[in-house]
Amino acid sequence: MTAVQSSGPLRIGNASGFYGDRFSAVREMLTGGPLDVLTGDYLAELTMLILGRDRMKDPNRGYAKTFLRQMAENLALAKEKGVKIVANAGGLNPAGLAAALRELNLDVKIAHVEGDDLIARADELGFENPLTANAYLGAWGIAECLNAGADVVVTGRVTDASVIVGPAAAHFGWARDDYDALAGAVVAGHVIECGTQATGGNYAFFREQPIGVPGFPIAEIHADGSSVITKHPGTGGVVNTGTVTAQLLYEITGARYANPDVTSRFDTLTLTQEGPDRVRISGVRGEAPPPTLKVCLNRLGGFRNETTFVLTGLDIEEKAALVRDQLETALKPHPPADIRWTLARTDHADADTEERASALLHVAVKDSDPKVAGRAFSGAAIELALASYPGFHVTAPPSDASPYGVYTASYVDAGEVPHLAVLPDGQRIDIPRAAETSLLSEVDEPALPEPLPDGPVRRVPLGRVIGARSGDKGGNANLGVWVRSEQAWRWLVHRLTVAEFRLLLPETHDLTVTRHLLPNLWAMNFVVEDILGEGVASQARFDPQAKALGEWLRSREIDVPEGLL
């Protein structure tokens, strides 16, 4: 992929939104229609922990083994069709994955990008004994590999959008300071990197059109950085301004979205429905990137265990109090460091099935000692079987304790992190840090539109009016909401304040909540700090990745102007 100035779009598809996504997607994308590049995102915060534990068992592991199997089945086809492959499946060992790909003995040129792994320098950089420590690199190492003729580029921890930005920058010959074009590619990359979430997967308004099994997304990127989001013809799902908006809001904070190569202004973009399953993204403005790189740190936090007591029929609260007191008394000689109880009142009065008559009392424990969280807890819980509330049983008996991880984010000066492109011939190219940087700051809150005039209202679930998508960033939850008319926006922006948000979601009442407005999308994003404790791997909450937080918000009832219904 030699750098060229091209008037036509570069068609970049995605075939993986996480480690464990649909295995057949690579072949589906290669056979479903024309592509220039096929990308895959295999790395999440939790995935880095999983790969770290793999590497502890075998230093030669640490990459996404699924990707290697996918390439064994499909790389010859990609070569035949002239499709380049770019993926972050290298995880903690991109060189090892590149070597494994060469052992497939196919006539392809393999390159990789490394330098993100900072574990050997953890003490020097002030990290506290992590299992993994990986900086988020940008797109220019990928571009260097492609310009050197690579057919496949695998990376370690790059930003999710970088696997899309790199091919676009190489193809169109962008300069490091072509910020608007780069920002447009970052936005396109952000939309397609989570796979089918852009084509109707996990979509709030899924009842409005058939979803089936959604096809994976494609970004047709143009030389100016504008793009059209689409999918192969005949595949399931849908691409419309709603599905694209939902993904734009996913796991961001405010209007400035920082990447190592450019900061994209999400408050400048425009979405246009160009036709069936075709949404144009245009007008994205870019700024110089920040001077620091984010570092994903995972460490082993200790050991956890859990069980769920089933409480049936009458006196649910009293039964819960009895078993809780009994178990905590039994654990008193050596109590776990952390014990959490959650009572889910799933029971119904005068129920016609036993299951509908039952509530669930969940208890989870954590401790640094696997014996305390393991045998001591499990034994104490099961020993109550004939000595507690009437109807005692559990959904599954507790077992041995399992290790859990803790995620934290740190930041280091970009100059502290090597960024190396290892070309197909083995040559190692240093990628310089950005020459121009700018400290990241919040965008001034935009002027609010005039509120709707007073009129009749009806109490309905908020989801009758708004869409939502939520997710995790470390211990924080992001919850993006949007509406589909200017009238609804005029109502929402005045009605759904931080105070109202806390009232609707009482679990956020004592937490720091920040609201970010994106009037160009008739959208806002709420960041809820520390609701997920020490991150998804610590399993601190019923919904540890906050995936359904938005749907909870949509289910809450509120007075809505009748004109919006």
Output 388 or 56, whichever has higher pLDDT: 388
Give the pLDDT band (50/70/90) at residue 535: confident
Percent of the chain with pLDDT over 70: 98
Give the pLDDT band (50/70/90) at residue 534: confident
Closest CA to 101 of 150, 47, 152: 152
**Length of the chain measured in residues:** 565
pLDDT recorded at residue 536? 67
pLDDT tens per residue across span 253-267: 999 999 999 999 999
| Rounded distance between C-alpha atoms, residue 178 and residue 474, angstroms | 31
Long-range contacts of 20-28 (CB under 8 A, 24+ apart): 20/66, 21/195, 22/195, 22/196, 22/216, 23/66, 23/69, 23/70, 25/195, 25/216, 26/70, 26/71, 26/73, 26/74, 27/73, 27/74, 27/77, 28/215, 28/216, 28/232, 28/235
| Rounded distance between C-alpha atoms, residue 249 and residue 30, angstroms | 28
| Contacts (Cβ under 8 Å, ≥6 apart) of 82 | 36
Q: Which helix (H) or strand (E) holds 403?
A: strand 402-413
DSSP letters of 320-360? HHHHHHHHHHHTTTS--SEEEEEEE----TT-SSTGGGEEE
Q: Which helix (H) or strand (E) holds 424?
A: none
Contact 188, 219 (CB under 8 A): yes
Q: What is the mean pLDDT of the chain?
A: 95
pLDDT recorded at residue 4? 46
Give the pLDDT band (50/70/90) at residue 71: very high
Output 6 or 331, whichever has higher pLDDT: 331
Give the pLDDT band (50/70/90) at residue 425: very high
Give the pLDDT band (50/70/90) at residue 128: confident
Q: What is the mean pLDDT of residues 520-529?
A: 97
Label residue 548 exposed, middle or buried (CB < 10 Å: 0-12, 13-18, 19+). Answer: middle
pTM metric for this prediction: 0.94
Least confident range from 77-81, 457-461, 479-483, 543-547: namely 543-547
Give the pLDDT band (50/70/90) at residue 2: very low
**Domain boundaries, given as residue ranges, for the chain:** 10-290+409-430, 301-400, 457-564
pLDDT recorded at residue 46? 82
Q: What is the mean pLDDT of residues 270-288?
A: 98
Closest CA to 192 of 36, 11, 14, 16: 14
Give the pLDDT band (50/70/90) at residue 7: low
The backbone torsions φ and ψ at residue 495, rounded to the nearest 5 degrees and listed phi first, read -90, -45
The backbone torsions φ and ψ at residue 427, rounded to the nearest 5 degrees and listed phi first, read -65, 140
Contact 377, 305 (CB under 8 A): yes
* Amino acid identity at 86: V
pLDDT tens per residue across span 48-68: 988 998 998 998 899 999 999
Percent of the chain with pLDDT over 90: 90
pLDDT tens per residue across span 393-409: 999 888 899 988 889 99
Fold annotation for 301-400? Alpha-Beta Plaits (3.30.70)
Beta strand 270-275 with 227-231: parallel, antiparallel or unpaired? unpaired
pLDDT recorded at residue 279? 98
| Rounded distance between C-alpha atoms, residue 198 and residue 188, angstroms | 10
